[in-house]
Amino acid sequence: MLMKPESIKPDYNLYLVTDSGMTGRENLVRTVGEAVKGGVTVVQYREKTASTAAMIREAKAILALLKGTPVPLIINDRVDVALAVGADGVHLGHNDMDPVTARKIMGPDAVIGYSVESWQDLDDAERLDVDYYGVSPIFATPTKTDTGKPWGIEGMQKLRGLTGRPLVAIGGMNTDTISETLMAGADGVAVVSAICASENPLASARELHQIVTETKYNH
């Protein structure tokens, strides 16, 4: 497996996953901009309803605002959209394009994330050339209800003992839960509603980022 140079390894600390249903389509790009100002370290564009044309337009607008920052843009599910806009990578689950094919298409420098929803997913993923795992879900969340059994804090601890790959926790991550999740071994936390449904995405991102850095570096 090719190792990426340090310079293109993302900082997974605070990972924003977009939801246009929460922000409103017209506020999506602005919300991402505020979240980046507030300290998010990765942006995943996750869009399940828009047309491909609209996705490409929106992803391009997000990429434009990330230009000049170290924050990478990851596209959920859609390798074609990632390539079309020149995004940094894709996030895939076991029903999406397989990571071997995605790697072939996107090349060695692309960031490929893989959702780990079960022990079987972990087993499969360990054999694959992927860059990080989305540990999904940590807690049950109204944002996504068609999930497997939540891993909980104990599941995160067990996963941490089994893999050296970066673990990004998703599902129910908010100001009350991120500390214990990081202390259980997560490298970063991914949030949807904690930022996309916030009245003040900048302030929410800032608060989450502060908790992440205090937990990871001052403990």
Pick one of ligand TZP, Mg ion, none as the site partner of residue 117 (Cβ within 5 to 8 A by kind): none
Tell me how far apart the alpha carbons of residues 56 and 41 are, in angstroms, rounded to a whole number: 22
Two tokens, residue 193? 């509603």
User: x/- contact string, 129-168, with ligand TZP (CB under 6 A)?
Assistant: -------xx---x-xx--x---------------------
Cis peptide, bond prior to residue 166, ω within 30 of zero: no
Q: Is 96 annotated as a binding residue?
A: yes
Counting other chains too, the contacts that 50-54 makes at CB distance below 8 Å and 24 or more residues apart are: 50/20, 50/25, 52/78, 52/80, 52/81
Q: Which of 171, 204, 209, 215 binds ligand TZP (CB under 6 A)?
A: 171
Tell me whether residue 86 is annotated as binding. no
Q: Which of 17, 32, 116, 167 binds ligand TZP (CB under 6 A)?
A: 17
215 binds ligand TZP (CB under 6 A): no
Length of the chain equals: 219
CB of 93 to Mg ion, least distance (A): 4
Say how far apart CA 120 and CA 116 lie, in whole Å: 8
Sequence-distant (≥ 6) Cβ neighbours of residue 79 within 8 angstroms: 90, 97, 102, 105, 106
60 is in an annotated binding site: no
Query: Is 13 annotated as belonging to a binding site?
Result: no
> Look-up: residue for tokens 């100001």?
175
Nearer to Mg ion, 35 or 75 (CB): 75
Q: Are 148 and 116 a contacting pair, CB within 8 Å?
A: no
Residue type, 74: I
Please tell me whether 48 is known to bind a ligand. Answer: yes
CB 142 → ligand TZP: shortest distance, Å? 7
Instruction: Give the nearest distance from C-beta 69 to Mg ion in angstroms.
Output: 25
Place of tokens 């689950």: 93
141 annotated among ligand-binding-site residues = yes
Q: Choose from Mg ion, ligand TZP, none: what does 77 bind? Cβ within 5-8 Å by kind.
A: Mg ion
> Could you tell me which residues are annotated as the binding site?
44-48, 76-77, 96, 115, 141-144, 172, 192-193
